[in-house]
Structure 1
Amino acid sequence: MDQYLEVFIKVVEKENFSKAAEELHMTQPAVSQYIRTLEESIGTRLLERSNKYVRLNKAGEIVYHHAKEIVALYTKMQSLVEDLTNNASGPLAIGASYTFGEYILPHIMARLQEQYPLIYPSIKIHNTKEIIELVNSHQLDIGIIEGQFHEKTLNSEVVSEDQMVIVAPPHHRLLGKTVRLSDLEEETWILRETGSGTREASENLFRMYNFNPKKVMEFGSTQLIKESVEAGLGISLVSRWAIGKELKNEYLGVLNVEELPFKRNFAIITHSTYQTKSLKTFIETLRQYMADHEQ
């Protein structure tokens, strides 16, 4: 049944039988037969078909959601069985929030691939809220997130502290001076979107010091925020991990604010205590990298 679900998932995601068949290295009639057999076993149609599109109906939405979980669990089961006799190898689905995923994870992956070339990772980068949801639904083997974690159905472990600082354009009038957070009330603050770990850190900082910026702009990526600050659009609270190159090249400056640096946690989250050798190896590599690069 897992192969029927995999074919179904591919048709849904490609929205086309021919494209799904090409990617699966199957003929289109074979793909169509797989879908018909699956629909017969479920007892209802799952897809609405026309000459231009293939779309999920209500029943199809239910099956698609659970099919993703079933296929992920089946893959994990296979990996656990293979681990009984083999070395760390096989697929590993990793998710990370933006700061960790964009500025730290690539270096960990380079170390992992050098030492364990038989591990085949796939990586998804989303905000913290989305990463938690993907781990919860078994679509990721592990997630690395920023900030507070309250989900009781998942296992979590803090792996490092992250220092948050306020960055400003390179010629900002307050650079080189010691200021208080209250002195920055009139500044334009550029913040990440709701659901982001960096946004949560900003809100925690503001709440801690009863601070209410008068003007806030919301952007969807750290890179966009850095470019905007450099251009003089405003200031922002960001991770020190994210600004190494900008500080070295003097594209940004760090304001000396009495209440800072503000610290938050990086944590790993997993769905089960049963971990494949690949996952255990990745976690060990991650821990060692973070220990070697403590801020």
Structure 2
Amino acid sequence: MHITLRQLEVFAEVLKSGSTTQASVMLALSQSAVSAALSDLEAQLGVQLFDRVGKRLVVNEHGRLLYPKALAILEQSLEIEKMFQQDNGALRVFASSTIGNYLLPAMIARYRRDYPSIPFELHVGNTQDVVTAVAEFSVDLGFIEGPCHHPDLVTQPWLEDELVVFCAPDNPLAQQILTVPMLAEAPWILRERGLGTREILDHQLLAQLPHFKLVMELGNSEAIKHAVRHGIGISCLSRRVIADQLAAGSLVALQLDQPHLVRTLYLVHHRQKHLSNVLQRFLEYCQPAK
């Protein structure tokens, strides 16, 4: 059985107007098209919905049973139409930890102030989790801390992010310009291997320190900040992650005789993903507040 919305619409209009002629005028269809749609519906249901009294159509018990359900279906289809005409739709976003915990919340808050009724999901994980979710269409967009070479994904640069080596304010290193040998002798507290921040740090700085002192690996930035603040060692995180602590003086950025550590953050979506108006509108908010 393949009942169509058009057939239900014709049935409802014939019932209201009492004839196929008047229904054809209201629906801007030919009378033959209205009669055909009504006949097809009755054939699929295996019953007559109207009694034919001369040239008049009088709704019978079958038609009266169908009418409220047909109206409900037509109203729901109209709601769906209106919903997408207004560019509504749920958004599902997956971000790696630094982006999801420290960059996106302010951007999402600005978006939600303007579009409070749009359902929104934010998931936070590591870069590989993000790539897998986007590749499997489990989410609409991904934000990651390094380049992605998955053949099914489109990867585009999003933001530049500075990495900062930092320590506790009473650490003697805070008063010096650090050379590579001095960095190699310092105790380091780092993110776990395989995470975006760690990969960039390994490539840009730690590759110059083959024998550096790793005293601890921790799974999240908050734990690292607390460990550094208590004098266990030095570390390196995004400036955005430690901005509040730098401003308060509870952490201090170290001066290096090296170029600034800068990485690119990326936006990813599936190559076959349709970027709806809702999605593109959200991306307009995905910039740091000025």
TM tier, smaller: 0.5 to 0.7
Alpha-carbon distance in structure 2 between the residues aligned to 1:179 and 1:206 = 13
Q: Deviation at 1:85?
A: 4.6
TM-score, normalising length: structure 2 = 0.68
CA contact (8 A) 1:97 1:146 kept: yes
Q: Alignment partner of 2:219: what SS? A: coil
Are positions 1:148 and 2:164 aligned together? no
Which ranges in structure 2 are unaligned for 5 or more consecutive residues? Answer: 1-79
Q: Deviation at 1:207?
A: 5.3
Indicate the residue corresponding to 1:169 in structure 2. Answer: 168
Alpha-carbon distance in structure 1 between the residues aligned to 2:198 and 2:237 = 9
Q: Residue by residue, what CA displacement relative to the aligned partner does 1:14-65 show, whole Å, maximum 9, x if unpaired?
A: xxxxxxxxxxxxxxxxxxxxxxxxxxxxxxxxxxxxxxxxxxxxxxxxxxxx
Are positions 1:284 and 2:284 aligned together? yes
CA contact (8 A) 1:90 1:118 kept: no
Matched letter for residue 101 of structure 1: G
CA contact (8 A) 1:168 1:253 kept: yes
Indicate the residue corresponding to 1:217 in structure 2. Answer: 216
Deviates more, 1:119-128 or 1:270-279: 270-279
Alpha-carbon distance in structure 2 between the residues aligned to 1:118 and 1:164 = 36
Q: How does 1:115-194 map to 2 (within 5 A)?
A: 115-194=114-193
Query: Are residues 266 and 82 of structure 1, via their aligned partners in 2, closer, same or farther at CA, if it must alter by over 3 Å?
Result: farther
CA contact (8 A) 2:184 2:209 kept: no
Q: Deviation at 1:126?
A: 0.4
CA contact (8 A) 1:154 1:270 kept: yes
Q: Deviation at 1:178?
A: 1.2
Deviates more, 1:131-140 or 1:176-185: 176-185
Q: How does 1:24-173 map to 2 (within 5 A)?
A: 85-173=84-172
CA contact (8 A) 2:180 2:209 kept: no
CA contact (8 A) 2:183 2:209 kept: no
Matched letter for residue 205 of structure 2: F
Deviates more, 1:170-179 or 1:211-220: 211-220
Alpha-carbon distance in structure 1 between the residues aligned to 2:196 and 2:243 = 19
Identity %: 31
Aligned residues between the structures: 210
Q: Alignment partner of 2:163: what SS? A: strand
Query: Are residues 82 and 91 of structure 1, via their aligned partners in 2, closer, same or farther at CA, if it must alter by over 3 Å?
Result: farther
Which ranges in structure 1 are unaligned for 5 or more consecutive residues? Answer: 1-80
| Structure of higher CA gyration radius | 2
Q: Deviation at 1:96?
A: 0.7
Indicate the residue corresponding to 1:206 in structure 2. Answer: 205
Alpha-carbon distance in structure 2 between the residues aligned to 1:185 and 1:223 = 24
Q: Alignment partner of 1:174: what SS? A: helix
Alpha-carbon distance in structure 2 between the residues aligned to 1:182 and 1:145 = 32
Indicate the residue corresponding to 1:76 in structure 2. Answer: none
Q: Deviation at 1:273?
A: 4.4
Query: Are residues 90 and 164 of structure 1, via their aligned partners in 2, closer, same or farther at CA, if it must alter by over 3 Å?
Result: same
Q: How does 1:199-278 map to 2 (within 5 A)?
A: 199-206=198-205, 208-271=207-270, 272-278=272-278
TM-score, normalising length: structure 1 = 0.67
